[in-house]
Amino acid sequence: MILSFRWYGESDPVTLDKIRQVPVLKGIVSALYDVPLGETWPLEKIQNLKAAVERKGFILSAIESIPVHENIKLGRPDRDALIDKYRASIRNMGKAGIPVLCYNFMPVFDWTRSNMAFPLPDGSNALSYDDVEVLKMDLSKGTKDLPGWSASYDAKELQALLDGYQELSEEGLWENLKYFLEKTVPAAEESNVKMAIHPDDPPWSIFGLPRIIRDEAAYDRFVKLVDSPNNGFSLCSGSLGARPDNDLPAMIRKFGAMGRIHFAHVRNVRITGKGAFHETAHPTESGSLNMYEIMKAYSDTGFSGPMRPDHGRMIWGETGKPGYGLYDRALGAMYLAGLWEALREEKK
């Protein structure tokens, strides 16, 4: 297992110099943030990113993410041209020797929350989600007023997307995902890149949009879409764990044994009601998930890919990108490293 940390590039206030003072971290997970959506990632830029990470003593263990253009998800006429560019990005990743590509297939909204600074009893704050609050959000002005939403669609663009997905439905989205994978997985195979889809977050439909990568049944279906070891998962415990019916240790054992888990996001979450949860510190006692059993499942299945603490709380007065401060993620990394060391020692 390569314990890793997400870094948002040179403009991230959480610098590589800070990250390298967390003693257990070996890998960095990052992306190019200046390539327009839909364009091919240039080899030279990927190599420069890799060199910047390696200069500080890390390996670039995964790319998270190369975004998938909405027109690919919607199956619009220009999708073939867009997929060709995506394939070229995968080949360039392969040439640069980067082994894992995290991506997602969530329509319009990536991860979604109702409160970016939900107060916890200890005085820290974390991201939270509640279906009731999300239903009250006003989409009539586009995305600009939504919490944590950076890309912007104006009212007309957003409505066109919502209508497009309404018409497409869940089955249509599955078909378009299969189409995308049939074209990209062969490029990943040739390039020695493992494609790793991130689950939807939250793992259920929001705003009437189809969201399909949400539970074990979806994972079963996904691995069969294109039956290749290069077609696998970024298994995110915090995303999938917002559904009490997802048995995470069982899913890790099942898909880990199949060699389909290529990247692990490990964090805890507390379920507070139906369609409601908030993020927490990483330890088991902080939330609803048994982190020991999750880590034991990874250890027992011989997981060797990158793993990272996921979103952290904001603690000690830190401000910055919600979920991506330094302090609580560093605590999370230490906790995961401790569990891992104990599990490895027990095996000896």
CB of 29 to Mn ion, least distance (A): 10
CB of 177 to Mn ion, least distance (A): 18
Residue 236 a catalytic site member: yes
Do the Cβ atoms of 36 and 66 come closer than 8 Å? Answer: no
Nearer to Mn ion, 149 or 179 (CB): 149
Residue 145 a catalytic site member: no
Do the Cβ atoms of 20 and 56 come closer than 8 Å? Answer: yes
CB of 310 to Mn ion, least distance (A): 5
Residue in 69, 262, 265, 282 annotated catalytic: 265
Q: State the binding string over 306-345 for Mn ion (x if CB under 5 A, else -).
A: ----x-----------------------------------
Q: Residue with the closest Cβ to Mn ion?
A: 236
Residue 311 a catalytic site member: yes
Residue 282 a catalytic site member: no
Q: How many CB atoms lie within 10 A of CB 323?
A: 22
Q: What dihedral do alpha carbons 247, 2, 28, 102 form, nearest 10°?
A: -40
Residue in 236, 278, 282, 327 annotated catalytic: 236
Q: Which range, of 130-138, 203-211, 234-242, 314-322, touches Mn ion by CB under 5 A? A: 234-242
Residue 62 interacts with Mn ion (CB under 5 A)? no
Residue 236 interacts with Mn ion (CB under 5 A)? yes
Quote helix, strand, coil % in the chain, to nearest 5.
40, 15, 45
Size of the chain, expressed as the number of residues it contains:
348
Residue 189 interacts with Mn ion (CB under 5 A)? no
Do the Cβ atoms of 240 and 246 come closer than 8 Å? Answer: yes
CB of 286 to Mn ion, least distance (A): 17
CB of 145 to Mn ion, least distance (A): 25
d(CA 199, CA 348): 34
Phi, psi for 14 (deg, rounded to 5): -85, 90
Do the Cβ atoms of 63 and 26 come closer than 8 Å? Answer: no
Look up residue 62 and give its two tokens. Answer: 């995964």
d(CA 72, CA 62): 23
Site for Mn ion in 255-294 (CB under 5 A): 265
Nearer to Mn ion, 310 or 328 (CB): 310
d(CA 92, CA 102): 15
Catalytic residue IDs: 198, 236, 265, 310-311, 324
The residue ranges that bind Mn ion (CB under 5 A) are 236, 265, 310
